[in-house]
Amino acid sequence: MNAGAKKATGSLLLFMHADSKLTKKSFVRMKKRMTPTETAGGAFSLQIESEKTSLKVISLLATWRAKYLNIVYGDQAIFVRNDIFQKMGGFSPLPICEDLDFFRRLGQQGEIILLKEKTHTSARRWKKEGILYTTLRNITIGSLFLLGFSPQTLSKWYSAIR
């Protein structure tokens, strides 16, 4: 992400997971909300692409978590002003939870927003690993990271699926 940001020439950076997508409407809304305000950055609401009720509930709870606790994961497509990103030194070189770390630090740079427009994220990990297991693992890793546990240790609990 840092390498991509170094090559970027725009004033606004958008970081999305490879298995996520935005609608044109969502992208336009982000640009409109970030121009010409002094907002530091933000993220989108989450929609896991599935008709399963449990994944719809998880999407709603993730959006609630982001809105009220300012805890955002990368699957919510984080956006930031390029100058703020550079001032922050970009993403920390962590093996996991670099998105949580970044968004918490972003909140110290000024106003952050959560758009009601959604980023659409694949449900493949939940389908492959199980909805309950994946959700509990994600909550556990995120919570332990925020409590100060080592990202190197926590990364052992999260397998890379490509």
Residue 62 scores a pLDDT above 50: yes
**Superfamily of 2-122 according to CATH:** Spore Coat Polysaccharide Biosynthesis Protein SpsA; Chain A (3.90.550.10)
Dihedral angle, C-alpha 132, 155, 21, 50, nearest 10 °: -10
What mean pLDDT do residues 112-137 have?
Answer: 95
In whole angstroms, what is the distance from residue 61 CA to residue 119 CA?
A: 14
Question: What is the Cα gyration radius of the chain?
Answer: 15
Tokens of 42: 């933000």
- In the chain, pLDDT over 90 holds for what percent of residues? 93
Q: Are 56 and 48 within 8 A, CB to CB?
A: yes
pLDDT in tens, 21-58: 999 999 999 999 998 778 999 999 999 999 999 999 99
pLDDT in tens, 80-121: 999 999 999 999 999 999 999 999 999 999 999 999 999 999
CB atoms within 10 A of CB 101: 16
Q: Give the residue extent of every domain in the chain.
A: 2-122
Residue 136 is predicted with a pLDDT of: 94
Residue 36 is predicted with a pLDDT of: 79
Predicted confidence band of residue 162 (pLDDT cuts 50, 70, 90): very low
Which of 50, 84, 33, 44 lies closest to 66, judged by CA? 44
Residue 160 is predicted with a pLDDT of: 62
The residue that leads in pLDDT, 123 or 158, is 123
Residue 161 scores a pLDDT above 60: no
What mean pLDDT do residues 116-142 have?
Answer: 95
First to last CA, the chain: 17
